Structure 1
Amino acid sequence: MEYLKLEDCCEILDSKRIPVTANKRRNGKYPYYGANGLQDYVDDYIFDDELVLLAEDGGNFNSKDKPIAYRVSGKCWVNNHAHVLKPKQGISVDYLCYALMYYDVSGLVNGATRQKLTQATIRKMKIPILSEIDQLRIVEIMNSIQQLKNDYRSILHKLDVLIKARFVEMFCHKGYTVLEWNDVFNTRTGKLDSNAATENGKYPFFTCSKDILYIDDFGFDQEALLLAGNNAAGKYDVKYYKGKFNAYQRTYVLTLRGNWSYQLFRYQLEDKLEYLRQQSLGGLTKYLTMKILGELSFIIPPIEKQKEFELFVQQVDKSRFDIKKSIIELEREVVYD
């Protein structure tokens, strides 16, 4: 199979990008894109075309299951965290996008805490050269896969709604005790930099990424909830773990003060993540403080009710795991003949 360098099959329009700082954005109707997709809507545009945006920095470079490229169409604004690519004649924009979505960039990105895929590097990236008919065939296959993934994600959303409905049914307006953060959790943080992970580490290493990394040494040996303490977009994450692990210095390690269900409090924390996003501080990187967390409160139902809810969530989580596994398998099935 023949391959073509990216610089030979598309125009790189990075020079036309214009970054807009958050405090200077004016709300409007035009999409404003960055490394991982839509960031906002603004009142002006700089592109009006069929384009592929490829993450430059802050992309999902360490994940095999999240795209690093996506397609945009029409009037839009793009900041300087995404490369702007316009396919040349004979290259379908959809084919170019699918060829780059899960491109293996290991060894191509540089940087520690915030990895970057430079323009000099992407010029050397290669994609398979196929006839326009074969490109169309690949696009049709990929569109079918994307539709299946969307269907799976719809089921995941319905399962989330099911858990929320069950929580409301079991615990809301029942007169149960309500406690504030410091009465519910013993709160610690990790001590390590986020770049302390090792490729073949023995123990889970929890950072503010949704992905779990690994490390050679452990700093904790316990049952805990792990709450991300900072995030570029304020989209925080809660994880549960029991055993030996380590943590980044901006990851909150939470131990329950009572003999309660960790799954119940994991859910209650997850239900507050949107509120935390709205309350978080910071500019380019959002972060949570103990003052913000300390204002949260939690329902403490009887332990038998907690265990009933925990069993229900475990059953739903099994279904969610199976669906997410199916999504990953769909993504890994894509090969070029």
Structure 2
Amino acid sequence: MAQDKDQKTLNVPPLRFTGFTGDWKKTTLGEIGKTFNGLTGKNSNDFGQGSPYITYKSIFDNSKVDISRVEYVTITDNERIKSAQNVVRLGDIFFTTSSETPTEVGMTSVLLDGIEDCYLNSFCFGYRLSNKEETLPEYFRFYLRASVIRNKLSILAQGSTRFNISKNEVMRMGINLPNSSEQEKIAALLSCIDERITTQNKIIEKYESLIKGIAQHCIKESTSGNTYVKLGDICQITTGKLDANAQVDNGIYPFFTCAEQPFKIDSFAFDTEALLISGNGANLGYINYYNGKFNAYQRTYVLDIFSENIQYIKWALKVLLPQRIAIEKSSSNTPYIVLSTLSDLRLPIPNKSNQCHIAKLMQSLERKLSSQITLNDSYNKLKQYLLRQMFI
């Protein structure tokens, strides 16, 4: 809320474009649009061919529907004649109706690209604005993902193990709208930031692909005419001792588990320069580097006291360890790393000078990648700030 020059409290957000005055209109979703259902009466044999339909996941993942991610469903002639299935239209908004947590119920996505004869999955409902000149779909793309609306939708979620939301309750939910010109301005700004984030993600993907390719090339070159040694012969390999839930908020030291990023903890068991390798879980084989005091989960391998360049070994492992894990998975179906997976892994060891050269090259590329990730984080933080400040 803000105040005008006469100290009157206005129904407006904290952050607003200059040139716009007056209150935002109070209304409900039900007063400015109508709902419609997704697919009905379909079974597994109907899917995989036919007409495109928008999936639950594509709605959950993005505020704007990505029409390249559609799947296909058979719509019969009889269904077409009787209009038994609802065809989606440009500007339609889609709500997910269930999720495992209340904070993820009612995720929305807006169809802003044209697509013919397209339908909606049965686990979502559609919403169609009555007047797209006064209420802009582009604006609702961001408004319905803003924290003020997400909080309201979370409160509406009902359930214990699986949470659901009633579209009738959603339609009764109060909202606040600026005029169409202000809607357009807000949507244009946030769309611009979203496009920049998309571009930045592509830059990061290119860097990651480049780094992976260069690492593979360098390690492949190292295999020619060089000595191979077992990893266990050039370093010490141990594991942490703690349960994964030993983490504490605002702890002093990094706590490495099988997640990509470390958590925090108030005690340390290691004070060394080390490589930390995830021994199980979704990030099996993920490698972190750290130098200093830290602690580790009991299924996280800690490699230290290297007789060779630790940065070179890190990149040799990034290239060769996934291959070994894949072989062991296919031969024994082992979904975790055992000590011998690491200790017996043979690595090519070039001379110290070449190790240093490869390590410095890869570190330089990592720094460039890190700067691009930091830049992307700043764009995302800016977007989240605007989503909190520009809506009520």
The interval holding the TM-score normalised by the smaller chain is: 0.5 to 0.7
C-alpha distance 132-316 of structure 1, shift in aligned 2 (>3 A):
same
Is the 8 Å Cα contact of residues 285 and 337 (structure 2) preserved in structure 1? no
Deviation at 1:130, TM superposition (A): 4.5
What percent of counterpart residues are identical? 21
Decide which of 57, 71, 78 is 1:33's aligned counterpart: 57
Q: Distance in 2 between matches of 1:248 and 1:6?
A: 48
Q: Distance in 2 between matches of 1:333 and 1:310?
A: 35
Paired amino acid for 2:237: T
Which residue is equivalent to 1:65? none
Deviation at 1:327, TM superposition (A): 0.8
Q: Distance in 2 between matches of 1:235 and 1:43?
A: 34
1:225 aligns with 2:275: yes
1:316 aligns with 2:340: no
Query: What secondary structure, in the 3-state scheme, does the structure 1 residue paired with 2:57 have?
Result: strand
Q: After superposition, what is the alpha-carbon deviation per residue over 1:229-259, rounded to whole angstroms, capped at 9, x for unaligned? A: 3334x57632211111122333x23314632
Q: After superposition, what is the alpha-carbon deviation per residue over 1:280-336, rounded to whole angstroms, capped at 9, x for unaligned? A: 87xxxx942317934754322222211112212222222222211111111122214
Which structure shows the higher helix fraction? 2
Give 1 or 2 for the bigger CA radius of gyration. Answer: 2
Which residue is equivalent to 1:243? 292
Taking structure 1 as the reference length, what is the TM-score of the superposition? Answer: 0.64
1:145 aligns with 2:193: yes
Q: Distance in 1 between matches of 2:279 and 2:122?
A: 28
Is the 8 Å Cα contact of residues 219 and 319 (structure 2) preserved in structure 1? no
Is the 8 Å Cα contact of residues 257 and 297 (structure 2) preserved in structure 1? yes
Output the aligned Cα RMSD: 5.2
Q: 1:268-287, aligned counterparts within 5 Å?
A: 268-271=316-319, 275=323, 287=335
Q: Distance in 2 between matches of 1:129 and 1:276?
A: 57
Q: Distance in 2 between matches of 1:262 and 1:287?
A: 26
Q: Distance in 1 between matches of 2:234 and 2:48?
A: 40
Deviation at 1:76, TM superposition (A): 7.4
Q: Distance in 1 between matches of 2:278 and 2:364?
A: 25
Decide which of 227, 234, 249 is 1:199's aligned counterpart: 249
- Unaligned runs of 5+ residues in structure 2 are 1-11, 13-23, 75-84, 112-117, 155-160
Q: After superposition, what is the alpha-carbon deviation per residue over 1:79-127, rounded to whole angstroms, capped at 9, x for unaligned? A: 9xxxx57456377666555456685999x99xxxxxx99557xx89998
Decide which of 178, 191, 198 is 2:228's aligned counterpart: 178
Is the 8 Å Cα contact of residues 37 and 86 (structure 2) preserved in structure 1? no
1:51 aligns with 2:94: yes
Q: 1:1-337, aligned counterparts within 5 Å?
A: 1=12, 33=57, 51=94, 56-57=99-100, 71=109, 84=124, 86-87=126-127, 89=129, 95=139, 98-99=142-143, 103=147, 118-119=163-164, 129-173=177-221, 174-183=224-233, 186-232=236-282, 237-250=286-299, 252-256=300-304, 258-271=306-319, 275=323, 287-290=335-338, 293-294=341-342, 296-334=345-383, 335=386, 336-337=389-390
Paired amino acid for 1:33: K
Q: Which deviates the most, 138-147 or 213-222?
A: 138-147
Which residue is equivalent to 1:23? none
- Unaligned runs of 5+ residues in structure 1 are 21-25, 62-67, 110-115
Deviation at 1:72, TM superposition (A): 7.9
C-alpha distance 269-330 of structure 1, shift in aligned 2 (>3 A):
same
Q: Distance in 2 between matches of 1:332 and 1:207?
A: 26
Deviation at 1:192, TM superposition (A): 2.7
Query: What secondary structure, in the 3-state scheme, does the structure 2 residue paired with 1:224 have?
Result: strand
C-alpha distance 139-274 of structure 1, shift in aligned 2 (>3 A):
farther
Q: After superposition, what is the alpha-carbon deviation per residue over 1:118-146, rounded to whole angstroms, capped at 9, x for unaligned? A: 557xx899986555554443333233223
Is the 8 Å Cα contact of residues 276 and 289 (structure 2) preserved in structure 1? yes
Is the 8 Å Cα contact of residues 98 and 163 (structure 2) preserved in structure 1? no
Query: What secondary structure, in the 3-state scheme, does the structure 2 residue paired with 1:148 have?
Result: helix
Greater RCO (CA < 8 Å, at least 6 residues apart): 2
State the number of aligned residues.
306
C-alpha distance 256-246 of structure 1, shift in aligned 2 (>3 A):
closer
Which structure shows the higher strand fraction? 1
Paired amino acid for 1:196: A
Q: Distance in 2 between matches of 1:271 and 1:47?
A: 49
Deviation at 1:169, TM superposition (A): 4.7
Query: What secondary structure, in the 3-state scheme, does the structure 2 residue paired with 1:33 have?
Result: helix
C-alpha distance 150-129 of structure 1, shift in aligned 2 (>3 A):
same
Q: Distance in 2 between matches of 1:221 and 1:275?
A: 30
C-alpha distance 135-101 of structure 1, shift in aligned 2 (>3 A):
same
Query: What secondary structure, in the 3-state scheme, does the structure 1 residue paired with 2:259 have?
Result: coil
Q: Distance in 2 between matches of 1:249 and 1:13?
A: 49
Q: Which deviates the most, 70-79 or 237-246?
A: 70-79
C-alpha distance 138-216 of structure 1, shift in aligned 2 (>3 A):
same
